[in-house]
Structure 1
Amino acid sequence: MHPTVFQQVLRAPFFNMPESLRALHGIRGRETWAGRATIERGRNPLAWLCAVVTRLPPSMRDAPTRVEFIADEKREIWRRDFNGRKMVSKLYCRDGLLCERLGLVQFRFVLHTWESVVYWNVEKVRLLGLLPLPARLFSGVQCREREHEGRYEFHVEARLPLAGLLIRYEGWLEPA
């Protein structure tokens, strides 16, 4: 059996992660997870434009959330549904980095684990998959995953220079 995308990126530390994280990032084939999320979008006009380009959902509190995962050893597709608002990303491993295509932007993350938490750190960013953007501009993009009370939890925050808060969303998921 081939390793999943996250097994390829994290390698041995993958197997020391909490059960809910191993289950979610070990999906092969198609699975749906459900939970709740709260989303806060920035109000700056530049933040609004960036959110449109990356197809981010609007602000909402305690929204029903479903994520359909379609995964094989080469890539994963995450089809998020935040109370009817869709957000899709495609993920794959390249050169030991986790690559995520979100709208017109491609991120490359270094993943590391610390005390049962997985942190995503931006290493590279490209617009339209071709135009490199300075990674230091994206130092305000912070993602973390952990297990809390037996459930997978996520926290994502993106702040950009001049735009301020782009989006902050957090919540939990479990197998549907």
Structure 2
Amino acid sequence: MTPTLFQGLLGASFYSLPPAVRALHDVRGRATYAGRATIVRGRNPLGRLCARVARLPAAREDVATAVTFDARPASETWHRDFGGQPMQSRLHREGRMLVERLGPLRFRFALHVQDDALWWRVGGVRLLGVLPLPASLFDRVYCREGEHAGRYTFQVEAALPLCGQLIHYEGWLEAVDPA
């Protein structure tokens, strides 16, 4: 069987992930997960503008959250819904990096497994797909995926120099329509 996008990127370390994280990244075809999230947005006006340009969701507490995954071996599309506010991204592989296109930005992430969690760390960013931005500007942008009480959990942080925090969101998901 052809490995999924995340299986191919992580290799053997994929199988050391908690079961809920493995299950989510073992999706083939289409699947929907649902749960709850809390979203915090920064207060800096420049940070708010950057968050708006990136089409990040508004601040909300304990909001109904759903993610529909359209997973192919070479790419995935994630359709997120935070209480009626959509956010979509496309992911694919470039060498050993996971590439996520979100709004006008194209992130390259290095993935690693540590302390029973999957971590995404920025290795490069391009604006509009062509203009490289210094990766050091994105040192405070990361994602942590884990498991708590049998549920898939996520935590995303995005903060930039001069802008401060753009967004922090975290929550949990469970399969409602597995592939």
| TM category, shorter | over 0.9
Q: Which residue of 2 aligns with 1:76?
A: 76
Q: Which residue is equivalent to 1:153?
A: 153
Write the mapping of 1:121-160 to structure 2, written as runs, cut at 5 A. 121-160=121-160
Deviations 1:88-119 (A, max 9, x none): 01011111101100000010010111121111
Shift of 1:2: 1.3
Name the SS for the 2:6 alignment partner.
helix
Separation of aligned partners in 2, 1:130 and 1:4: 27
- The CA deviation at 1:25 is 0.5
AA paired with 1:9? L
Please state how far the C-alpha of 1:46 moved relative to its aligned partner: 0.8
Q: Distance in 1 between matches of 2:46 and 2:57?
A: 16
Matched, 1:172 2:172: yes
CA shift, 1:142, in A, is 2.0
1:40 Cα deviation from its structure 2 partner = 0.5
Distance 1:25 1:129 in 2: 26
For the residue of structure 1 that corresponds to 2:73, the secondary structure is coil
Cα distance in 2 between the residues matched to 1:13 and 1:48: 37
CA distance in 2: counterparts of 1:115 and 1:40, whole angstroms: 25
Q: Corresponding residue for 2:25?
A: 25
Which SS does the other structure have where 2:8 is aligned?
helix
TM-score by length of 2: 0.97
User: Any unmatched runs of 5+ in structure 2?
Assistant: none
> Matched residue of 2:14: which SS?
helix
> Higher mean Cα deviation, 53-62 or 2-11?
2-11
Give 1:74 deviation, angstroms: 1.1
> 1:12 matched to which residue of 2?
12
Which residue of the partner structure matches residue 90 of structure 1? 90
Q: 2:42 matched to which residue of 1? A: 42
CA distance in 1, matches of 2:84, 2:49: 21
Shift of 1:145: 0.6
Output the aligned Cα RMSD.
Answer: 0.7
User: In the aligned structure 2, how far is the partner of 1:161 from the partner of 1:52?
Assistant: 17
Listed one character per residue, the Cα deviations across residues 59-107 of structure 1 (whole Å, up to 9, x for unaligned) are 0000000000000111000000000000001011111101100000010
Q: What code does the residue aligned with 1:119 have?
A: W
Write the letter of the residue equivalent to 1:23.
A
Which consecutive aligned stretches of 4+ in structure 1 deviate over 6 angstroms post-superposition?
none
Deviation of residue 49 (structure 1)? 1.4
SS at match of 1:159: strand
